[in-house]
Amino acid sequence: MNRFQKRIETISLFVTIPVSITGWILFDFNVFAGIWIGCMCALIGFRMIVKMTKSLNPDEQKAKKQGVFSYTMRYFFYGMILFICAYKGIPVLSVLAGIMCHKASLLIYTAIEKEDA
């Protein structure tokens, strides 16, 4: 699991670098910052998912409660980040673009692993 997690994080960072630089060149520094905030937010959310899956309770009923609580807290976290960024004048779409950089890294990782198999 750790190898998987590290590779996803590395790919996320390599995807975010050109996207954020492009955002800075085409728009401004707030877009650059928003993309990095979004990427870091998505990576934290990813770590929350990994942590939750490692600690799932064997009891199905308790595991469902734990999963719902984890899901709710993760999306509350995302919402708070988006709210703070909007309040501080960082474009919310740039934050979402950063989150999408992480999502793209998941697709890239899947494609790489499919080729290796």
Residue 60: pLDDT band (50, 70, 90) is confident
Question: Is it the case that residue 1 has pLDDT exceeding 80?
Answer: no
Percent of the chain surpassing pLDDT 70: 97
What's the Cα-to-Cα distance from 35 to each of 8, 12, 16, 63, 69, rounded to whole Å?
17, 12, 7, 33, 27
Question: Is it the case that residue 117 has pLDDT exceeding 80?
Answer: no
Question: Is it the case that residue 100 has pLDDT exceeding 90?
Answer: yes
Residue 66: pLDDT band (50, 70, 90) is confident
pTM of the predicted model, to two decimals? 0.89
Angle at 45 between CA 8 and CA 35, to 5 degrees: 75
